[in-house]
Amino acid sequence: MSDRDALLRIVYENAGEENQVPLSDLVATATGFLDHFAEKSLVGERFSNIVETGDGATKFSRLLEACGCSGDPETFFSQLLLTLGKADGNETISINGIEMPHLLLMAILEVVLPGNQFISIKSCEQLEKATNIRVPERRRADMQRVIDTYPVRLSMHTIRQMRVSGNVAYQYLPFVEELDTVGHTNTWIGQFHQGLLEQMYQNRVIFLLNMTCPVYCRFCFRKHKDSRNESNPTPVDVEKAVAYVQNSPSIKEIVVTGGDPFVNRANMACAIDGLMEIEHVQNLRLATRSIAYYPHMFLSEDAKLLNYLKRKNLALQHRGKRMEVATHFIHPDEISPQSLLIITELVKSGIAVYVQTPFLKNCNDEGPELARLFSLLRGAGAELHYIYIPCSPIHGNSVYWTPISKGLAAGNYLRAHLSDRIIPRICTATPIGKMDWHTSGWAVEPVADNPNFMWIRTPYTPEYFKQFATLAKDLDNMRVNAEGTIDVQYMAQIGDESIFLGARPARRDVKPAARRPKGVEEVLPLVRKCENRSHSIVDTGSATLSRVHETRVEIDTGCSQQDLDYIGRDERITDVVMVSETDATQSLYRINQIIGALGAVPHVNSVRLRSLNSNYEPQSYTAVVIDKLGDLNKLTIVNPLRLEIETQFLVAEELTPAHKRLVRRLNNKGITVYNNTPLLGGINDTPDAIHRLAYSCRQSGIEFHHLYIAGLPIQDQWNAANPISLYDAVDIATAVRRQGSGREVPRYMIRTILGEVDFGLSSAFIGDGENVSVKLLCYDLAYFKAMSADFTWPAGIREDGDGKPIVPVSGLLKTTDFALS
Ligand code: SF4
């Protein structure tokens, strides 16, 4: 601060506090922010148009001018601090009608409201002081009861976020409706619990290393005394749990969680070091929400914790194991440069980061906010794993509940408007385990005489649990259905009665698996023949570019400048899939040129190389090829251009140790490898074949992205004579969910000439026998016209009464009246 530097004052109106900051600090912060972060994806279109391009100082002078403070930063900041002093998250903050972007406000708040500590709130007065809100007189007594019943703990990071975002405040601020006792106190039944170890699934266990969280989310059961007051385990307890895993060869994965396990470093170190030495353990999944709400934990002391994780990951890799970090974001306002940096750093070091998202009413339940959130996270390198619908019914969190129909509708929105690579699985965590909507589970019917509950068909069976946990017999909230799987009662509203699908009848068709199984070699000649660019859903005027989705194009490596111009003109395109006649590994010179050109197109944030060589000729990925690919992968906080490899494996037997080595080397460059598998009649259309494939992909570090039930060119040719039974598709999804890790579950897809849809979720089946059409629930005529004004329905397409297209699909067999089989 220079001698002549002005000191500006901020008065936090409701908190009754004030602070003074040098003007020069504010100017430096704003200029630095504009220099690095004033990109449309982070600050919005209007703001980025105002500040335009140039260095931070130039952009700042344009901002001052637009705000009516030309050349006068003192007036600008005086106005801004006056508004920030009143801010409690409920209003947008504007100067001269220009809304200040959330991230800029956060940067300014880091100057005027500094610190990284936690605050435990014990009274209404303390709450008002920390959050700058005013608790009305008539609510104070109730609010105090909430605070006394459920802990309120906030990090300074969340406190800053809450002042400028109602959507963040909604997650962490206590509210008097928490006193409502409808709902459960926990999300599981309890029979899976033994000390710090919880085993809900045969192949994986949960280690609860720490019972508390740095910050309490109001929708979560962790705020309950029952769980929070359980005593924390000690390293001796952790050693006992490690010994249990040592003696249980079926356990392949350990989810290390809490509370936040990173809060208890001694237990964390004991768990990682102990599990690392167990031969049959393959994956460690470390769960923390701190990346979103307490990034300081990873970045303080020269990123000590981040570096610790990187070191441990190398040690795990050395033993053939993998580390993943699970985190949890709900709304785009939670995104910060710090959180994106942590994700990027982890992914670049070969540690996959995956995100789970509870679906909260009036926060992220429409679709567009999730699309923005997921796009930002993906650019940094994260995978999107689950959306949980609805938010678990816990005491006092009914404000967050949505009906099931709302979650499914948001899924349809995402399918139409978001890259396929970032659409999470839509699942519900029932008291006996997770199910994926309309593949491994569905809503059967309402529970008689109890309008708050419904029966959900799960993929689990009594035999499954017998092997590792005792499910209490005669529990009246469960029943075994005619298929032999368990229906469980779940507390939620359906929102649309047509979503109750009833029970699945016994199968009537001859099980295709009973036909003569065919070897992969029979289909291999077709595989290479079908490695082409996909059919375009609208006319692009180009023979080398296909539009396959609103957000995605496929281009030949021999594409033209006009093709690149097409991509540059349409801001909805985020993903470019490159297809080469000779495979990606032999087209790197051209791929390099195209990626160079796409680097100047900020809305494209991912390039995907389709490469059968990654399966059939892994040796073609030489050290120099991997090095070049690594150079092309731009995982950055601002304007990322992520590189991914798309592969195709048909059966588990195709995966060899060479693939595992290759994927690890690519992962260590931050490059994800994902697999799309066509289901082929007689080749791989059994639960066992796909379960083993899913398992092998995971062991090799390959993300199993799509399992195509129908519609790929190879399926159109092969499955015409070897159709896939819808019944088998549900059986496959059931087995994969029950027997595998949740990280192995693919999305079950159908490709049509109008694009892709999720099996039974964004699609409905019409017809029977081999005469099956698919209604596409997520697209209508306007959707296609927005991409090509001249678009009309292609021949053979019918439009249903609700405007949704019905498309014939070959190679499918529908044999019952049940919607999904
Ligand atoms: S951080 Fe996770 S476990 Fe803790 S309260 Fe929030 S959601 Fe629950």
222 lines ligand 1 (CB under 6 A): yes
Q: What residue owns the CA closest to ligand 1's atom 6?
A: 217
The C-alpha atoms of residue 291 and residue 482 are separated, in whole angstroms, by 44
Residue with tokens 């020069």: 24
pLDDT value for 229: 65
Task: Quote the DSSP letter at residue 640.
Answer: -
From the alpha carbon of 358, which atom of ligand 1 is closest? 7
User: In 3-state terms, what secondary structure has residue 806?
Assistant: strand
691 lines ligand 1 (CB under 6 A): no
Q: How far apart are the first and last CA of the chain?
A: 71
Q: What residue owns the CA closest to ligand 1's atom 3?
A: 259
Q: Which residues contact 802 (CB under 8 A, 6 or more apart)?
A: none
CA of 570 to the centre of ligand 1 (A): 39
Would you call 217 exposed, middle or buried from its count of C-beta atoms within 10 A (0-12, 13-18, 19+)? buried
Report whether 50 contacts 62 (CB < 8 A): yes
pLDDT value for 212: 84
Could you tell me which of 504, 352, 436, 493 has the C-alpha nearest to residue 746? Answer: 436
Could you tell me which of 632, 558, 565 has the C-alpha nearest to residue 595? Answer: 632
160 lines ligand 1 (CB under 6 A): no
Task: Quote the DSSP letter at residue 139.
Answer: G
What CA–CA distances, in Å, run from 212 to 201, 205, 220, 380? 24, 19, 12, 28
Residue with tokens 């979560």: 220
- Ligand 1 mutation pick, 168, 217, 325, max ligand atoms within 8 A of CB: 217
Q: Which residues contact 473 (CB under 8 A, 6 or more apart)?
A: none
Tell how far CA 570 is from the center of its chain: 25
152 lines ligand 1 (CB under 6 A): no
CA of 222 to the centre of ligand 1 (A): 6
Q: What is the mean pLDDT of each run of 10 residues along the chain (821 residues)?
A: 80 92 97 96 95 97 98 97 92 95 97 94 95 94 94 95 96 93 63 73 88 88 70 91 94 92 94 97 96 96 97 96 96 96 96 96 96 94 95 85 97 98 96 95 96 96 81 75 94 96 84 63 86 93 97 97 98 97 92 96 96 95 96 92 97 97 96 97 95 97 97 94 95 96 96 97 95 97 98 97 97 95 95
**3-state DSSP percent of the chain in helix, strand and coil, to 5:** 40, 20, 40
The C-alpha atoms of residue 459 and residue 482 are separated, in whole angstroms, by 13
Q: Which residues contact 56 (CB under 8 A, 6 or more apart)?
A: 30, 31, 32, 33, 34, 35, 36
pLDDT value for 810: 95
CA of 247 to the centre of ligand 1 (A): 30
Report whether 369 contacts 377 (CB < 8 A): no
From the alpha carbon of 259, which atom of ligand 1 is closest? 3
pLDDT value for 809: 96
217 lines ligand 1 (CB under 6 A): yes
For 464-525, give the DSSP string: HHHTT-PPPTT-TTEEE-TTSPEEEEEE---SSGGG---PPPPP-SPPGGGSPP--GGGTHH
3-state secondary structure 212-233: CCCCCCCCCHHHCHHHHCCCCC
Beta bridge partner(s), residue 205: 254
